[in-house]
Amino acid sequence: MSGEEYQKINDKLRTQYNLAVAKTHPIKNGKKVAFVTILVGGLNLSNPKSYMDNVVHEFVQGRMYNEYIDANLDNPWLRIIIEDINDLVN
């Protein structure tokens, strides 16, 4: 996907889910590119984990991805999604 395509998805999610943050950044290694997306939402909800699970599902739309969570598991409203990370090292 291109940066513009990620922007369209992020804009849709920001509106649809009222996200505080939906931003994708490219990470480059020579000509190879991976994308890191930061999603923050559900800050005022009693169950932000379930809410953000739905957001991630909508964001990735079946694409392969890696997801990173807070080491202390005390930040359920933040999700970090990395796509194409294996492409950077191959």
Q: What's the pTM value of the predicted model, to 2 decimals?
A: 0.89
Q: pLDDT at position 60, please?
A: 95
Give the residue-averaged pLDDT of 68-76: 80
65 contacts: CB under 8 Å, gap ≥ 6: 81, 82, 83
Fold category of 3-89 in CATH: Alpha-Beta Plaits (3.30.70)
Q: What percent of the chain has pLDDT over 90?
A: 62
Q: pLDDT at position 90, please?
A: 66
Per-residue pLDDT at 86 exceeds 80: yes
Quick: pLDDT tens for 27-48. 998 888 899 999 999 988 998 9
Q: pLDDT at position 21, please?
A: 93
Rounded to whole angstroms, how far apart are CA atoms 82 and 16?
22
For the chain, the domains span 3-89
Q: What's the distance, CA 26 to chain centroid?
A: 12
